[in-house]
Amino acid sequence: MNDTLKNHATLAEKFNRDIPRVDWHDKTLWFVREKRDKAANQIPDWEKLRETASQIKNNVLSNLHDYLVEFENNAQQNGITVHWASTPKEHNEIVHRIIQQHGVEHIVKSKSMLTEECGLNEYLEHQGIEVVDTDLGERIVQLAGEPPSHIVLPCIHWKKEEIGELFHQHLGTPKGNADPQFLTSAARAHLREHFLHSKVAITGVNFAVAETGEFVVCTNEGNADLGVQLADVHIACMGIEKIIPQRKHLGIFLRLLARSATGQPITTYSSHFQKPRAGQEMHIVLVDNGRSERLGSEDFRNALKCIRCGACFNTCPVYRRSGGHSYHTAVAGPIGSILAPALDMEKNADLPFASTLCGSCTNVCPVKIDIHDQLYKWRQVLVKNGHVTRGKKFSMMSMRFLLSHSSLYNFSGTLGRWVMRNLPSLVNNKFNPWYKQREMPQAPAQSFRSWYLKNKQHGK
């Protein structure tokens, strides 16, 4: 394991140096989790909905080839141009080519985790094209030069006073004004100009329907719609796993998506794009980037069912107290921790360990991804592939030796307790991470086994 790589524990420790901020971050996200609970509880059939969504997604994964072909055919018949990209690089080049064909140097983009995954903004900026993220939260982190810290709430780690200062610097709002209403209207005016002057608009895709060749984009702000309806060219970027079989299945997924994400009954806008308007070009870029390979893994393919609602982020006690950037990957949180190692095992070997395996993520997941079980399985894969420190490997090997010999185990237990009682400084010191903020357990004179031998002679 390379020690120079970014590491969740180290980044989380930094985040935890400002405890009031951690408390604020935790409470804000817990509030969203509570809204989700309230929304879910208003639907008596909630668990059945999750099960149905999960089964539909299982069907999609098992028949993805045919659904992709069906979708492509129908989309083409609808007048949409379909592109295929194996890699992020290919995706970025396709998008760039379309932009070039229109001689444009300035585009707007609404939220798309896929383009984050592919590093599209960076790529296009290198080509001299200005990309303006139009989701308010994404625009905030973009102005700040940061990636989003949450897939649904991109700037959930920013305080309004900091946003006020950021807007003062970049948009010229009065210094010291941190009123969300005021700041939002300033952003509205600023972004309206970009909407009006962009000939190309990029969006993500929430669902693509094989049966009809249409795709659905959900936003609350209406930024995706304003962007594409004012542009001559609409480019929609999606991972190949976003396909669903039939239009009626949207009923299942749209009932789950916003309730799971923010506790809203539905997003403000659920736009179904079936055909370009007269004179408009509509493109879809279908991206693989390792998905087809993951489809072959029984243990990990379920992660492809994800609908990017972010519920597992909000409920995760570790995410809430470590912040999205501690995951150092486009998709953070529990789902990111099972997606990222498949993309780069070495860089993301720490992420499956950034969890207590509490299982709350699995329970909130609207499509029933076994997230915490996959975290456990990733740990096994990472260790087998050598992504583990030598110290850890040594301690595990020793533990195995100790625990497979009961006499050794009993001896070392006795020894350990004796040390803790008589030489506590050997244990209670700064090299022991347990002791930094916690007392060690108080070691008793005898183990249960010794007590049992003395008091219960009928023991074998």
Partner 1 sequence: MNIGLFIPCYVDQFYPHVAIATLQLLEKSGLKVSYPLQQTCCGQPMANSGFEHLTNPCSTNFIENFSTFDYIVCPSGSCTLHIKDHLHDEKHPVEAASIRKKVYELTEFLTDVIQLKKIKARFPHKVGLHQSCHGQRGLKLSQMSELVAPAFSKPESLLQMVNGLELVTLDRKDECCGFGGTFCVNEEAVSVKMGKDRVADHIRQGVDYITGGDMSCLMHLDGILRRQKSSVKTIHIAEILNAG
Partner 2 sequence: MGSREKILAAVKTNQPPLSPLPSNWQGSKHTTNLKEQFIQTVTNIGGLVIEVNSVEEIIPAVKDKFPETTRIVNLLESPKPTGASLGDPHEFENVTIAIMQGQLGVAENGAVWLTDKQMGDRVLPYICENLVLVMKSTEIVPTLHEAYERIGSSDYGLGTFLAGPSKTADIEQSLVLGAHGPKSLMVYLLP
**In terms of C-beta density within 10 A (0-12 exposed, 13-18 middle, 19 or more buried), how is residue 449 classed?**
middle
Among residue numbers 60 through 99, which ones bind partner 2 (CB under 8 A)?
61-65, 68-69, 84-86, 90
Among 129, 153, 236, 303, binds partner 2 (CB under 8 A): 153
CB of 279 to partner 2, least distance (A): 6
Residue 321 CA to residue 332 CA, distance in Å, equals 13
Length of the chain: 460
Nearer to partner 2, 296 or 433 (CB): 296
Identify the three-state secondary structure at position 48: helix
Q: Which of 69, 196, 266, 397 binds partner 1 (CB under 8 A)?
A: 397
Contact between 136 and 221 (Cβ < 8 Å):
yes
**CA 78 to chain CA centroid, nearest Å:** 32
* The entry of partner 2, partner 1, none that residue 443 binds, CB within 5 to 8 Å by partner kind: partner 1
> Do 208 and 243 contact (CB within 8 A), yes or no?
yes
User: Hey, what are 75's tokens?
Assistant: 């989309």
Which residue, 295 or 443, has its beta carbon nearer to partner 1? 443
CB of 183 vs partner 2, minimal distance in Å: 6
Told to check if 163 binds partner 2 by CB under 8 A, we report: yes
Say how many CA atoms lie within 13 Å of 422 toward its Cβ.
7
Look up residue 339 and give its amino acid. L
Please select the residue that binds partner 2; options are 88, 154, 239, 324, rule is CB under 8 A.
154
First-last CA distance in the chain: 46
Rank residues 29 and 371 by Cβ distance to partner 2 and give the closer one.
Answer: 29
CB-nearer residue toward partner 1: 242 or 259: 259
Six-digit token pair at 320?
Answer: 């809430």
Here's the x/- map for partner 2, 377-416, by CB under 8 A: it reads as ----------------------------------------
Binding map of partner 2 across residues 231-270, x = CB under 8 A, - = no contact: ---------x----x-xx-xxx-xx------x-xxxxxxx
Site residues (CB under 8 A) for partner 2, limited to 165-224 = 180-181, 183-185, 187-188, 191-192, 195-196, 212, 214, 220-223
354 touches partner 1 (CB under 8 A): yes
Binding mask 100-139 toward partner 2 (x if CB under 8 A, else -) reads ----------------------------------xxxx--
Distance CA(406)–CA(410), nearest Å, equals 6
Q: Label residue 270 left, alpha or beta by phi (over 0 means left) and psi (-120 to 50 means alpha).
A: beta
Under rule CB under 8 A, residue 454 binds partner 1: no
Residue at token pair 């006020």: 164
Among 177, 274, 363, 412, binds partner 2 (CB under 8 A): 274
Q: Which is nearer to partner 2, 53 or 365 (CB)?
A: 53
DSSP string, 347-358: TTTTGGGS----
Please state the closest distance from residue 145 (CB atom) to partner 2, in A.
17
Helix and strand element counts for the chain (H, E)? 22, 10
SS3 state at 198: coil
315 touches partner 1 by CB under 8 A: yes
Coil, strand or helix at 130: strand
| Residues 39 to 68 in contact with partner 1, rule: CB under 8 A | 40-41, 43-44, 46-47
Which of 106, 95, 126, 129 lies closest to 194 in space, CA to CA? 106
Question: Is 269 a binder of partner 1 (CB under 8 A)?
Answer: no
Task: Give the one residue of 1, 144, 295, 357 binding partner 2; rule: CB under 8 A.
Answer: 295
